[in-house]
């Protein structure tokens, strides 16, 4: 009987230690996620994002500073990403429908210039495209894209604050719903 109590006591101690470890890990992950959100907001609100500029596929520069003061849909995409390719017409439709209300769409291509130019010849869009290259993945991470995957969309209000993020393909209806809430 004494042996049984010892085993039960050992089991209880092990269970308590496991629960404490799990609790510590969950708290650590929550703090990391909160810090990432703060970092993304700080990047957007500090002017870090708005100080950047990107080469346009057709030539010239896309200065983020010129986009400040109006609501913005910022989409990270690539020509080799099937969901990115599928959502391009949806983003273009949103740009056309919501531009009169002040909305703007910008696509940052995490790609090289030649495939982007070839893609845009086949699928022209009315919104601005910038060449972010591989650095675009780092920028998307700093804006809250934990996985660094594509497509990734960030919505900013007119004050430059992040109001929505989405990893994965978006649609006109989803974008329109986000815009109507603002």
Bridge partners, 62 (sequence order): 54
Report phi then psi at 119, rounded to 5: -60, -45
Mean of per-residue pLDDT scores for the chain: 86
- 8 Å CB contact between 75 and 152: yes
Cα separation of 144 and 152, whole Å?
9
Q: Which domains, and CATH codes, for the chain? A: 53-181 (3.40.30.10)
> Tens digit of pLDDT for each residue in 56-85?
999 999 999 999 999 999 999 999 999 999
> Tens digit of pLDDT for each residue in 15-45?
655 555 555 565 555 554 444 444 455 455 4
- Predicted confidence at residue 80, as pLDDT, reads 97
Find the mean pLDDT for residues 166-171: 97
pTM metric for this prediction: 0.76
3-state secondary structure of 154: strand
- Predicted confidence at residue 8, as pLDDT, reads 67
Residue at token pair 């989405």: 166
């Amino acid at each position: 009987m004494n042996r049984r109590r010892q085993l039960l006591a050992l089991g209880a101690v092990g269970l308590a230690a496991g629960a404490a470890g799990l609790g510590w890990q969950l708290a650590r992950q929550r703090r990391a996620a909160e810090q990432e959100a703060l970092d993304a907001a700080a990047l957007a609100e500090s002017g870090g994002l708005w100080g950047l500029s990107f080469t346009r596929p057709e030539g010239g520069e896309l200065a983020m500073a010129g986009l400040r003061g109006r609501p913005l849909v910022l989409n990270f995409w690539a020509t080799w990403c099937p969901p990115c390719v599928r959502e391009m017409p949806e983003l273009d439709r949103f740009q056309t429908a919501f531009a009169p209300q002040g909305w703007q769409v910008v696509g940052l291509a995490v790609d090289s210039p030649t495939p982007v130019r070839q893609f845009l010849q086949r699928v022209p869009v009315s919104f601005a495209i910038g060449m972010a290259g591989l650095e675009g993945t780092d920028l998307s991470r700093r804006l809250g894209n934990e996985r660094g995957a594509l497509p990734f969309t960030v919505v900013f209000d007119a004050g430059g604050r992040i109001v929505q993020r989405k990893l994965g393909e978006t649609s006109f209806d989803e974008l329109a719903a986000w815009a109507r809430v603002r």
